[in-house]
Chain A
Amino acid sequence: MSESGNQPGELKRTPLHALHQELGARMVPFAGYEMAVQFRDGIIKEHRHTRNAAGLFDVSHMGQIRLSGGSGGDSAAAALERLVPVDVMGLAEGRQRYALFTNDRGGILDDLMVTNAGDHLFLVVNGACKDQDLAHLRQHLSADCTIEPLPDHGLLALQGPQAAAVLARLAPAVAELVFMTAARVEIAGAACFVARSGYTGEDGFEISVPAAQAEALARRLLAEPEVAPIGLGARDSLRLEAGLCLYGHDIDTQTTPVEANLTWALSKARRRDGARPGGYLGAETVMAQLEGGATRRRVGIRPEGRAPLREGVELIDGDGRPIGRITSGGFGPTFGAPVAMGYVETAQAQPGTRFGAMLRGKVQPVEVVKLPFVPQRYFRG
């Protein structure tokens, strides 16, 4: 759920901008914001710190949206189901689910997190997509729902095996949360909405905090010995090792949920034989692919050599025929070797299948592997 998408013009700043500069961050334009790509330790050390201890990420560029209906959360849930192939009505209070906005061809407009916050639904969408997501929500749902963006809130992610111990020190209630659940929690005096989730493959939390208190909360968390600030560079290598999609690269309007191998995100209730089949944009395309398969699929790709294979690298079979393309790739610091994902013809998508990748005019051998590259370590209670 992180993304790229650099926009021209004035760059926006997150509530942690001054803190990033004080911490020696290297700032880059990202999703229309000036964001920290790395701090003094560099990407590999930051990546390892997150896997070994706890990393603090500023993801305040992401869009936070409150969706409420006339008669409580239920009607907002029913309305949102018109835009996502996901069971939102069956989402219990305090629970969170991964979802996708589809278009009328079954392409993916964005990926997002939906949480039932009791009297409203809380959505977190990609920063580069948030304006168009808001327009999309208003176009389709404004008759039934109140749609409120929350630009006065920052979003911090605390990720890693020691994240829970750290956060519970400041707010014992978070220890009660399991993966993909959320609650209102006061942390260091700030009224936060905390979800036990993230995008690194590690246990951890995403903390929505009023912008005015975001810096104080970040400083409080950084004062804990296990916590280090982590930039977007490590966020990218962490999510790649965890096999998670980056919008605008691994998924976009040209890819469907089935092609993207996100069928696990297509709720049973919304499938052909479910309680509320279809009823979302592009449902016929998506359901037909669920039943009949798609011609290509997103897979994990392990380069057998040491050269990283990055987005755009062409994949070829033994006869030199193009069979697909890499959509994200790089070096996996925990995996200890290059890692990648991309789309290949379905016939070539079985783990263990070997073919070639064209890098600077030479063929590099690669193998299809099961994702993730590094085991996910979510806390399921």
Chain B
Amino acid sequence: MSDRRYTEDHEWVLLEGDTARIGISDYAQEQLGDVVYVELPEEGAVFAEGAQVATVESVKAASEIYAPVAGEVVEVNGALDDDPSLVNSDPLGDGWFFKIKIADADAAAKLMDDNAYKEYVESLK
């Protein structure tokens, strides 16, 4: 049981002190197929919750990533520039997208935990 939380858009949020690391779920990468490019936000950019913050391009299509929590982007995963397939091979680890310094420490609390997300994904199948 991790502290990872999930949105209905299949993004995950992992709290690390006052920052949140953000990526997409294994189900999401599976649905997207081979990822060939990730357009990441610039460090320092500030986003409201739900704002479009990044774009994932798979072979098939472009998909938007929305900020699951509000805050300032403090770090992006530069490794995705060289190897976007990390999103497919390790979506919860090396395939993370960016870190946000969160504005509201409780913002992630309302998101789904591991079990709730598993049930949610099952409900989609």
Contact with A along B14-41 (1 / 0, CB 8 A): 0000000000000000000110110100
Query: Could you say which of B55-63, B71-79, B95-103, B116-124 contacts chain A?
Result: B55-63
Task: Assess the B33–A360 pair: CB atoms within 8 A.
Answer: no
> Is A280 close to B, CB under 8 A?
no
Asked whether, in the complex, the Cβ of A44 is within 8 Å of the Cβ of B34, the reply is yes
* With A307-B39, A310-B62 as contacts: A38 and B33 at CB distance below 8 Å: yes
Beta-carbon contact of A331 and B37 below 8 Å: yes
Do B36 and A308 touch (CB < 8 A)?
yes
Contact A307 B37 (CB under 8 A): yes
CB-CB < 8 A to A310: which residues of B? Answer: 61-62
Q: Which residues of B have CB within 8 Å of A233?
A: 33, 59-60
List residues 329-362 of chain A with CB under 8 A from any CB of chain B. Answer: 330-331, 333, 338, 360
- Chain A's nearest CB lies how many Å from the CB of B109? 32
Residue from A37, A42, A306, A360 within 8 A of B34 (CB atoms): A42
In the complex, the answer to whether B59 meets A306 with C-beta atoms within 8 Å is no
B36 touches A42 (CB 8 A): no
Measured CA separation A308–B55 after assembly (Å)? 11
Cβ-based interface call for A43 (8 A):
yes
> Cβ of A306 and Cβ of B37 under 8 Å apart?
yes
Q: How many residues of A contact B (CB 8 A)?
A: 16
Residues of A within 8 A of B33 (CB): 38, 42-43, 233
Chain A residues near B57 (CB-CB < 8 A): 307-308, 331
Q: Is the CB of B59 within 8 A of A360?
A: no
- A197 on interface, CB distance cutoff 8 Å: no
Binary per-residue interface labels of chain B (37-58) against chain A in the complex, 1 for a CB within 8 Å, 0 otherwise: 1010000000000000001010
A25 and B24 CA atoms in complex are apart in Å by: 23
Known: A38-B33, A43-B60, A331-B36. A306 touches B81 (CB 8 A): yes
| Bound CA–CA A360/B62 (angstroms) | 11
A107 to B33, CA, bound (A): 36
B40 to nearest A CB, angstroms? 11
Q: Is A237 an interface residue (CB 8 A)?
A: yes
How far is B62's CA from A182's CA once the two chains are assembled, in angstroms? 40
A331 touches B59 (CB 8 A): yes
Q: Are B59 and A44 in contact (CB under 8 A)?
A: yes
Within 8 A of B (CB), among A304-329: 306-308, 310
Which residues of A281-321 are within 8 A (CB) of B? 306-308, 310
User: What are 18 pairs between A and B in contact, CB < 8 Å?
Assistant: A37-B60, A42-B34, A42-B59, A43-B33, A43-B59, A44-B59, A233-B33, A233-B60, A306-B36, A306-B37, A307-B37, A307-B39, A307-B57, A331-B36, A331-B37, A333-B59, A360-B39, A360-B55
Binding site for B on A (CB under 8 A): 37-38, 42-44, 233, 237, 306-308, 310, 330-331, 333, 338, 360
